[in-house]
Structure 1
Amino acid sequence: MDLKRELRLLDVFCIASGAMISSGIFVLPGLAFGMTGPSVFVSYFVAGLLAFTGMVSTIELTTAMPKAGGNYFFTTRTLGPVVGTIAGLLSWFSLGLKSAFALVGMSAFMVLLVPIDINIAAVALCLFFIILNMVGVKEASRFQIVLVLTMLALMVV
């Protein structure tokens, strides 16, 4: 199966930054600061350095092998199909956990605006995003652009 590369730079930027902003800025810092205090700033700095190394590696691989498929493609191409499949499954599993965390975080903010149970809100948001992604990657990326620009505007205000 040949995958088409339909996402532009702005699409990828908004998808990646939206994933980091949603839980990485709105939810996690409060929890981390409550558990560790001021040392959370050092933790974020170290995590940023680690994320930077992964980002640079991904940029290099994407430039060297400009194909759709991300980490699965890179791993399969360099280490073989078995390791690529394992990497793909682990990536899928970790993104599922990250998505659950982000949905609960979004639901915590949603219940401030709408009186609804946090679990029901999380399931409703999950179903909404599933349907949105089933409609198409371009539509989902357009929606993500609107979400990220709205979040950035609210952060500036």
Structure 2
Amino acid sequence: MMKKWVLAGVFILAAVTGAVIYQMLGSRGGALNGVEVDWRLLGEMDYITGKSSSELQALNGKSVKIPGFMVPLEDNQRDVVEFLLVPSPQACIHVPPPPPNQMVYVKMKRGTDVAVGPIWVYGTLNLVTKKSMYGDASFELVGEAIEPYK
């Protein structure tokens, strides 16, 4: 009789542990499965008036994924926390810089290596102007993860 209770306890513990792990991975996976946002939509932000389309406004504070190219704002090549995301490699550091609605200021929750080539950036999009040494950005992304663009 005691063996049945021990076995039942082990099954319950395994189920609870599995549920906790699933919940932890699920919350991370939610950000990694964000709404795909393209640069045409970001271009609908009027950076002079600060007004945006209703479709873009609906993404404020939501989990998204945006493709682009990294312009690091730090010298550390192995632990980049802040960078600009731009739509093309030619939009990197030029004078004058790209318009603010073509730059996303990214602040990663955890540092990442410098990315060479196109990437996806996953995180929470905020429609706020952020200033950097390379120009203003109309958007902030609280970054969860990056991965190569495929």
- TM class by shorter chain equals under 0.3
Give the TM-score of the pair, scaled to structure 2.
0.22
| Structure with higher RCO (Cα < 8 A, 6+ apart) | 1
Rg larger for:
2
With the length of structure 1 as denominator, give the TM-score of the two structures. 0.21
